[in-house]
Structure 1
């Protein structure tokens, strides 16, 4: 069931059969992912971000999706950490951003595209150059792009992350702090980095109706962002009661299954056309 191997420091490390199988699977996924990135087989999907008061779509978050010919559908919760650990995240991210901006060029010009950067990309000083090169290649307006970074990403190398953030903001790209409240960065980071937007983590939104601490935390975040001049989007909204409560608290932006699940480029274009027809019909009435 297991075997032991002596490490270089004299410690005995026990490997179970399950650990070996898990390691083999990770290696298999890594190899398949490298092939997929080289072949351009990872696709962007888009989830709507809405104005909570009017329910009008104001932008979309880009999410990577991958279906392998042998492995089938591989969840991002599986392949993104492997890409990060094995040094594939840069090429993967560039591929998805290129495809996403190509798709978003045909959207109405008032819609923004939101895109996530991984922690390792925030320590690579070439990250900004890669992003700008892709925007120039696809002809996508930098002012329509929002880059999302996490608190965890800021902690690895704050000086490097700050330089990358400033390089992006200098050309008109907006920067938002994702999953706020779940990391370990201090409130001082909000002043140091000059974020344009903050995203309230779904953990607080999911319990907003029956957990007073979550309610108070969301109220405090909204008050703080108003004082700092930052926009706010609440993530993980799944029912009308949550959306209504957030509106009562003064939250302007929302995202979640209530408004739409992530969809590929063609389905997203269809969603926008239907929304446009619905808006014209409402005006006619």
Structure 2
């Protein structure tokens, strides 16, 4: 069981990678101390995954520990936020916001972009907000895999009254959850963000669209290739530079290539 820890303090003397704020959503009340929530749909508030998903009959997407923060979908317009306590970035050198998330791809990104999970920042007590991240920024991912997200807060260095919020704007989209939230005074980009360019060019998959066989062109040694449907279900796997998906129905799939050096490349492939 994780221990809930929440630090909010001035950081004029912060050194290294010190934590300015952390939240693991393992307490007994929601929202946690200092956090606030709001929603335009009373039956779909932000809350503990063990409560809000059970109440709406939806799958519980816990991330770490016994519960996470989450919000459920509904077939009507939603606009709901989960807002952090205020904190200071005075003295911070390269501040970042880090969090883990489970987000649907099919109904949030492609082919049905019905919703957005946005990260917005305010420096005036919540009067105005600036968007600094949205789930499309992550790139390709599989439905409900745990995403490790890092967002730079460098533009807000020196600000003494900073807040961020997770804002869910959707209509008939998908449920999602977040956990393990941290603000660090001196952070680094996540592995996913730092290697985005490498991932994109590491493997060239062709033809795409395809009627069946796909080829993988890469300078790296392939450890395995896995074909997933858009729900994240594994359908085919091999360890060669060719994969035949002719047995699969027409549609959109994700092809994930695992390399011997531990890196990966994921590409969306259309089966005609």
TM range (shorter): under 0.3
The structure with more strand, counted as a fraction of residues: 2
The structure with more helix, counted as a fraction of residues: 1
Q: Which has the higher contact order (CA 8 A, sep 6+)?
A: 2
